[in-house]
Chains A and B, each alone.
Chain A
Amino acid sequence: MLELNKHVNTVNALLARYGVKFGIYKNHTFKEQLFPFDTIPRVITHDEFAYLEKGLSQRVTALNRFLADIYGEKRILKDGVIPEEFVYSSSGYLAACEGIMPPKGVYSHISGIDLVQGKDSEWYVLEDNLRIPSGASYPLIARDLCRKASPSTFKRNHISDNRDYAALLKETMDSVNTGGINVILTPGRYNAAFFEHSYLAEKTGAVLATGNDLAVMGDYLYYKGYGGNNQKVGALYRRVSDEYLDPMTFEETSLIGVPHVFDVYKKGNVALLNAPGNGVADDKGIYYFVPKMVEYYLGEEAVLHNAPTYLPFYEEDRAYVMEHFDDLVIKDVAEAGGYGVVFGSSLEGEEKQRLKDLVNEQPRRFIAQEVIDFLDLEVLDRDGVVERKADLRAFVLTGADQVHVWKSGLTRFSRIEGCSIVNSSQGGGFKDTWVLSR
């Protein structure tokens, strides 16, 4: 490991060489930033990963069942396990998806589950990302470069090779493909995750396309080739959010989507990865109910725990939140990317009262969670090794026949001492995640 750390600057220079960047808009200006990489990996033992694998697979299976149920029979609502208003008031719920069964019945093909490990070594799920979770490409390319920088490190340690991600993704796309080519739809080069879109296209052999490259003709979606040489699309891994996917069905001003693609999807003539409408399942309010979903759909107890969460929507929980405001972190369910997260203890006087009033007035809009004292990870800093907060985004790929938990993941860390917000858009860095093979 020490050997690898000697090469931290070289690896970062190589990441820059390959354009490993993310885009960010600040003051209405687009800027590309390098994503700082730390060579000290997060290490997950073989047994620990077996536990995570079981829990993640279980969780994503239940979430997929939930989505099929919500846009289908709605048994979970009828049985009173989840209050209806949590579903129908969710901004991720799309009425247009009612009654649609995606090809092979898979809704969330690529799921990004955010976890943290507490100081008690317990893993907690912080968030489910079932729409267009990003981040797998970073540890993927970093591993390749680290292996070159210090082959002996990888020779001596028994680390599962994570470079199968592209093959797993291709397998997932192929398994739901309705007949045609695989395409990755990007909003374009000014999207924050454009590096990932283009890198995954290269590695999976899928075609990278913008909305202009695609057209619906008849009941099918086509990639528009030069000279009228069009090719049918069977699977569209779209990295465009639901609202911009099809201006004829959703946001009509969208210029980055494909008109009528939703109609093709409805007819079962193209697989959309992930399916539209998944936002209802990764809503921060719905998150509270995921362990209940596991019990309801699978008849099992959830392996992975949520961070202790309170829903101000319930009177009892609201009273608790008001009483223990300083000990909790308050999250606005409509926000993402580390925004809309407020530590109760960080507010004073009027500001605190304002947020309390808002929670009382709009209880459905917020959740409150216990502040988990999560395990610090070692990070190489200019002054040597320091300890910083870090989370883990695990990737679960669900195809027609199997659920596969990727033996790696994106470990993001804060570069500020004591800070728990690790998002890249907030200045965080990333690490590789090693899963030991024995």
Chain B
Amino acid sequence: MGIISVEKVNNLFWLGRYTQRVYTTLQRYNTGFDEMLDLDVHFFEKYCEALNIPNIYTDYENFIKSYGYNTDNPDSIISNLYRAYDNALVLRDYISSEALAYIHLAQFQLNAAKLSDAPLIELQSVTDNLLAFWGAVDDSIDDAMVRNLIKLGKKTELLDLKLRFRAENEELKRVFGQLDFYLHRVDISYDRVAYYEMALALEKREVDEKTMLESLENLILV
């Protein structure tokens, strides 16, 4: 492939971010659903606060439906999967039909889960297809730049979510290390000040989530 346009760089990066967002939030959604059964019916309030999304949910049942499957809710898992699909669809020539097919399948499965009597069990197929997609990224994409841009997006999103869910410093450092690895394997501009601020805060164990999130948003210039 060799040459990638500005728009495609953007699509690849955000494909990585949205697939990671769907994957991670699906895990949290499953955990939260379980907790809400007998421990904490207000789990979703804390969840919305952590993600900084509006708490529009009337109760936990409404959260399960709307956050999981409502396409009119811009913060829902299904809306994020549609955004991953929007980015993937225009990248067929870069990521291959094989890899793109797993995003299609994840979308089919999430829509099927919406109508199912046992939606949580059905969600496993969505997770499986996202994992298969990432496998296909490694297996079907020859161009290292293309692969690394997706992975850079993926690690950026993972660090974002880890920060929001207040992960331990060591965990944050580990994910930042992964992000750093891909950042230096793609030929794109980044904000060096933001980069060093993040690295320093992690090294000194002085992470302020809000400041870190701001630096992270400014880090990649695509």
Q: Which residues of A does B touch, CB under 8 Å?
A: 16-19, 181, 188-189, 194, 198-199, 201-202, 206-210, 212-213, 223-227, 229, 231
The answer for the CA separation of A207 and B93 in the assembled complex, in Å, is 7
Could you tell me if A19 and B104 are in contact, using CB atoms closer than 8 angstroms? yes
* Contact assessment for A225 and B4 in the assembled complex, using a CB-CB cutoff below 8 Å: yes
| Contacting pair B93 A202 (CB below 8 A) | yes
B188 cross-chain contacts in A, Cβ below 8 A: 226-227
The verdict on B71 contacting chain A, using a C-beta distance below 8 Å, is no
Residue contact B89 to A208, C-beta cutoff 8 Å: no
CB of B101 within 8 Å of the partner chain: yes
| Distance (whole angstroms) from the CB of A392 to the closest CB of chain B | 26
9 intermolecular pairs with C-beta atoms under 8 Å apart: A17-B108, A19-B89, A19-B92, A201-B92, A202-B93, A208-B90, A223-B5, A225-B3, A231-B2
A181 to B97, CA, bound (A): 22
* Docked pose: A32 CA to B187 CA in angstroms: 35
Q: Are B89 and A198 in contact (CB under 8 A)?
A: yes
Q: Which residue of chain B is the closest to A224 with respect to CB atoms?
A: B5
Is residue B86 within 8 Å, beta carbon to beta carbon, of the partner chain? Answer: yes
A189 to chain B: which residues have CB within 8 Å? Answer: 86, 89-90
Cβ of A158 to closest chain B Cβ, rounded Å: 28
Q: How far is the CA of A227 from the CA of B89 in the complex (A)?
A: 24
Give min CB distance, B171 to chain A, whole Å. Answer: 32
B72 an interface residue at 8 Å Cβ cutoff?
no
Q: Are A208 and B7 in contact (CB under 8 A)?
A: no
Inside 8 A of B101's CB, which chain A residues have their CB? Answer: 17-19
Residues of B close to A17: CB separation below 8 A: 101, 104-105, 108
A226 to B9, Cβ gap below 8 A?
yes
With the chains together, A223 CA to B101 CA distance in Å? 27
CA distance A212 to B101 in the complex (A): 26
Least CB distance from B220 to A in Å reads 12
Query: In the complex, are the beta carbons of B92 and A199 less than 8 A apart?
Result: yes
Query: Which of A188, A202, A213 contacts B5, CB < 8 Å?
Result: A213
Which residue of B is nearest A19, CB measured?
A: B104
Instruction: Count how many chain B residues have C-beta atoms less than 8 Å from C-beta atoms of the other chain.
Output: 24
A198/B92 in contact, CB under 8 A? yes
Instruction: List B contacts of A208 (CB < 8 A).
Output: 90, 92-93
**Could you tell me the distance between the alpha carbons of A194 and B105 in the complex, rounded to whole angstroms?**
19
Among B4, B9, B92, B101, the one with the most A-chain Cβ atoms within 10 Å of its Cβ is B92
B residues sitting closer than 8 Å to A (CB atoms) are 1-9, 86, 89-90, 92-93, 96-97, 100-101, 104-105, 108, 187-189
Q: Once the chains are docked, how many angstroms separate the CA of A225 from the CA of B93?
A: 15
Chain B contacts for A207, CB-based, 8 A: 1, 3, 93
The docked-state distance in angstroms from the alpha carbon of A209 to that of B5 is 9
User: Which residue of B has the minimal Cβ distance to A184?
Assistant: B93
Q: B104 contacts A227, CB within 8 Å?
A: no
Return chain A residues, CB-CB under 8 Å to B7.
210, 212-213
> In whole angstroms, how far apart are the Cα atoms of A212 and B5 in the complex?
9
Q: Are A226 and B4 closer than 8 Å at their CB atoms?
A: yes
Residues of chain B lying within 8 A (CB to CB) of residue A225: 3-5
- Which residue of the partner chain, among A19, A194, A202, A224, contacts B6 with CB atoms under 8 Å? A224
A373 to B2 alpha-carbon distance, docked (Å) = 53
A231 to chain B: which residues have CB within 8 Å?
A: 2-3
- Tell me, rounded to whole Å, the shortest Cβ–Cβ distance linking A200 to chain B: 9
* Most chain A CB atoms below 10 A, which of B1, B2, B93: B93
How far, in whole Å, are A224 and B90 apart by their CA atoms in the complex? 16
A231, B9: Cα distance in complex, Å: 16
Give the residue name and chain of the B residue nearest to A229 (CB). Answer: B3
Complex contact A18–B97 (CB within 8 A): yes
- CA A210 – CA B4 in complex, angstroms? 13
CB distance from A139 to the nearest CB of B (A): 16
| Cβ contact within 8 Å between B93 and A18 | no
| Distance of A134 from chain B, by nearest CB (Å) | 16
- Give the CA-CA distance A189 to B100 in the complex, in Å: 14
Q: How far is the CA of A202 from the CA of B100 in the complex (A)?
A: 12
Q: Knowing A224-B6, A227-B189, A229-B3 touch, does A206 contact B86 (C-beta < 8 A)?
A: no
CB-CB under 8 A from A206, the residues of chain B are 93
Give CA–CA (A181, B93) in the complex, Å: 14
**Which listed residue (B5, B108, B189) contacts A16, Cβ 8 A?**
B108
Other than the known A198-B90, A207-B1, what 17 A-B pairs have Cβ atoms closer than 8 Å? A16-B104, A16-B108, A17-B101, A17-B104, A18-B100, A18-B101, A189-B89, A189-B90, A201-B93, A202-B96, A206-B93, A212-B7, A213-B6, A213-B7, A223-B5, A226-B4, A226-B188
Chain A residue nearest to B10 (CB atoms) is: A226
Chain A residue contacts of B3, Cβ below 8 A: 181, 207, 223, 225, 229, 231
